[in-house]
């Protein structure tokens, strides 16, 4: 898989997992952080890009664990979600 395809796949995976977060505020924070992180790192090349990609994979693992924890301890729906 080429670097751009792998990055796009990571971006989509991060967004997909972010949308699974139970809490409204955490969900929108995660989505915003994914988008901003990729915007900041879009010009990276070479070793810097590899390091950023590995950090993104680590963030994906953390996000997956957070989704599992959130599903074990669900919170009440926010006013923003009920409207």
Distance set, CA 76 to CA 23, 24, 39, 55, 83 (Å): 8, 10, 32, 31, 14
Residue-level pLDDT at 55: 95
Distance set, CA 79 to CA 31, 33, 82 (Å): 19, 22, 5
> For tokens 């751009």, what's the residue?
4
Residue-level pLDDT at 75: 82
How does pLDDT run along the chain (83 residues), one tens digit per residue?
677 899 999 999 999 999 999 989 999 999 999 999 999 998 888 899 999 999 999 999 999 999 999 999 888 888 888 76
Residue-level pLDDT at 16: 96
DSSP letter (8 states) at residue 1: -
Residue-level pLDDT at 83: 62
């Amino acid at each position: 898989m080429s670097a751009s395809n792998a990055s796009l796949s990571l971006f989509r995976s991060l967004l997909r997992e972010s949308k699974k977060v139970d809490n409204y505020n955490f969900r929108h924070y995660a989505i915003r952080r994914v988008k901003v992180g990729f915007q900041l790192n879009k010009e990276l090349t070479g070793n810097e890009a590899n390091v950023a990609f590995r950090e993104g994979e680590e963030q994906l693992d953390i996000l997956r664990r957070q989704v599992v924890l959130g599903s074990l301890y669900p919170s009440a729906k926010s006013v923003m979600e009920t409207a």
